[in-house]
Amino acid sequence: MSEDLPPPYTPATTAPPVWEPHFIDLTQHSSLILRKPLDPPPDCFSTPSPPRLKSNDFPPFRIPCAGNNLADGFRILYPSGLFEKHGIQQADWTRFLEDLGISARLASQGLSAVGSRVPITPIPIRGIFSRRATGITYDSQFTRSPRDEVQTLINVWNQSAFERRKLRVNLRIKGGVDNTAAYELLVESL
């Protein structure tokens, strides 16, 4: 009688595979570019969105940072077959990822790629402050960390191009909350 019973149920020990889009790796084609992000604005900021966009048409995926610092930039990975439906072309996505690295490098030099603040000329002040120190304390209020600068640029792209095409990009820290952790971009379909 025991021969007629099915074998006992054993739960699966491996998790299902994680979904990832088919990436076209353009990292080797990208070079150290000397341009200012958003100058001129990318074409996708002014082109209309496709008329019919599906919501939540793919699970979230991640784009890793090329190193441990934001100044190293992100790997130029284009998810073919996904973004074309949303009106984001390969050139637009490449420009976005390159601009993130550029803005982080500029922020590490104390420059802003997104801010419109014009540097001030120091006004000579009499008294205990020397001519050299004038304006340094004032200007330090306006400098942003590379992380803040990259996050601000991502917000500009989200508001100007991605969200109206039912996409959103978020900056995430992989593995920890310290400043030496590697970063990644989380790309979601809205």
Amino acid at 58: F
pLDDT of residue 99: 93
pLDDT of residue 137: 46
pLDDT of residue 20: 75
pLDDT of residue 172: 93
pLDDT of residue 118: 44
Mean pLDDT of 71-100: 92
Mean pLDDT of 37-53: 88
Mean pLDDT of 53-81: 89
In our burial notation (b when 16+ CB lie closer than 10 A, e otherwise), range 65-74 reads bbeebbbebb
Ranges 49-58, 108-117, 136-145, most confident: 49-58
SS3 23: strand
pLDDT of residue 171: 96
More confident residue, 157 or 142: 157
pLDDT of residue 142: 56
Residue 31 has pLDDT above 90, yes or no: no
Residue 85 has pLDDT above 80, yes or no: yes
Q: And the tokens for 165?
A: 């095409």
First to last CA, the chain: 56
More confident residue, 129 or 101: 101
The dihedrals phi and psi of 171, each to the nearest 5 degrees, come to -90, 130
The three state secondary structure string of 73-103 is: CECCEEECCCCHHHCCCHHHHHHHHHHHHHH
Strand order in the sheet with 61-64: 61-64, 183-189, 167-173
pLDDT of residue 96: 95
Mean pLDDT of 85-100: 93
